[in-house]
Amino acid sequence: MLKILLALVVLVPMVALAGGFVFTEWKTSQFEAAYPNIGTRTDIGGYSLNSVDLPAGPQADLPPIVFIHGASGNLRDQLFAFRKPLEGRARLIFVDRPGYGYSDRGGPENDTPAGQADAIARLLEKKGIDRAIIVGHSLGGAIAASFGVRHPDKTAGLLFLSAATHPWSGGVDWYYDLAAAPVAGTIFRYTMLLPVGLGRIESGSQAVFAPNRMPRDYVRDTMPGMILRPGAFYANAVDVSGLNTFVKTMEPHYKDITAPTVIITGDSDDIVAEEIHSVGLKRDIPNSELLWLKGVGHKTDYVANGLAVAAIEKLAGQPRDLQAMAAGFRAPQSLQAAMAK
C-alpha cells in the first residue's frame, strides 16, 4: 500500500504537468490562429522585430511617431488607442517589443530597456526614418527614456504615458521572478502559467484600467492573453523583474535628454506609482512638462487619448495649452463613448 501511495505522489504531479504542457501548446497555437500577425517582421541584425507601419497621408502635419507598449502587451494595445485619431497625419510605427507579439527576443542585450531602445533605433534606420516622436506607455516609458538618452539625434520628442522609469522600494509580483528563473521558471511557464492565467485576462485588464472603465472590446481587440505564451511571458518576466535594477543605473542620465518632453499621469494609478516615476521624470528631464490628471488610473493612453494626441501635436511644434486641457480634464463616464469620438 505504501508503494502505491508513493507512486501516486510521484505520478499525479507528473500527469498534471504533462496535461498542463499539452494544454499550453494547444492554447498557444489557438491564440496565434485567432490573432495572426498583422505587422511586418524586419531583420535588424540577426533577429527580427515586428511592427505595423502606417504611411503618412497627403495632408500629414506631424513627424513620424513610434509607439512602445508596456509590460504584458503587444503592438495591438497602442494600435487600437492611436490609429483612429492619428492615421494619415503622420507615419505611425507600432512595435512589438523584443520577445513580445511576433518579434524575436534577440540576444541578452534586449534584457534591458537600453538594448530594446537600440533595437528600435535600428528598426527606424531600416525603415529610413531619421527622427521620430517616441511614445512610451508604462514599462515602454523606460525604453522611451533610454531611447532619448542613447539616440538624441533620432528623438524629435518624447511622450511618457503612465511611465515606469525610476527606482522604487519593494519588488514585483512573485510570478515574474518565478517565470524568469532558469529551471523552475521553464516548468512554470510551459505547464501552469497559461491554464491559471487564462481565467484572469478579463479581470486583469479591468484592473489595469481601474478606476476607469475598460473599453468593451479591449480584450477582443488587443488580446492581452498572447502574453501567456511561454516565450512571450519569459521576455515579460525578465523585463519586469529586472526593471528596478536597470532604472537605478539609467536615472542619472535622464538629465541629458534634450528632446521636448511631455509626461502624462493619472493620480489614481495603482500599477505604477505616479509620485515616483512621473514626478521623477519632471524633476530629471530639463524643460519637461507634467500633466496631472484627477481620477485617472494607469491607462492614460486610452482614458486621456485626446490629451495624448494634443501632447504629440505640441511636441511637433503646434501651439497647445496642455496645462489648461489637463486642468479641465474629467475622466469620461463612458470610456467606450469617448474612444468612439
Residue 15 has pLDDT above 50, yes or no: no
Could you report the per-residue pLDDT of 141-157, keeping only the tens digit for each?
999 999 999 999 999 99
Backbone dihedral angles phi then psi of residue 109, each to the nearest 5 degrees: -60, -25
Residues 6+ apart with CB under 8 A from 49: 41, 42, 95, 96, 98, 103, 104, 119, 120, 123
Alpha carbons 197 and 81: distance in angstroms, whole number: 24
With a cut of 90, say whether residue 206 has pLDDT above it: yes
Count of H-run helices and E-run strands, the chain: 15, 8
- Domain ranges (residues) in the chain: 37-340
* pLDDT, position 13: 47
**Alpha carbon distance 137, 144 (integer Å):** 9
Tell me whether the omega of the peptide bond preceding residue 63 falls within 30 degrees of 0, making it cis: no
Which pTM was predicted? 0.93
* CB-based contact 93:53 (threshold 8 Å): yes
- Per residue in 242-271, pLDDT (tens digit) is 999 999 999 999 999 999 999 999 999 999
Could you give the CA distance from residue 70 to residue 164 in angstroms, rounded to a whole number? 9
100 burial level (CB within 10 Å; 0-12, 13-18, 19+)? buried
Average pLDDT, the chain: 92
What's the CATH code, domain 37-340? 3.40.50.1820
pLDDT at 104 over 60: yes
C-alpha span between 187 and 42 (Å, rounded): 31
- Written as nine digits, the cell of 50 is 515586428
Backbone angles phi, psi at 62, to 5 degrees: -135, 150
- Can you list the positions of beta strands (E) in the chain? 40-43, 48-54, 65-68, 92-95, 132-137, 155-161, 261-266, 289-293
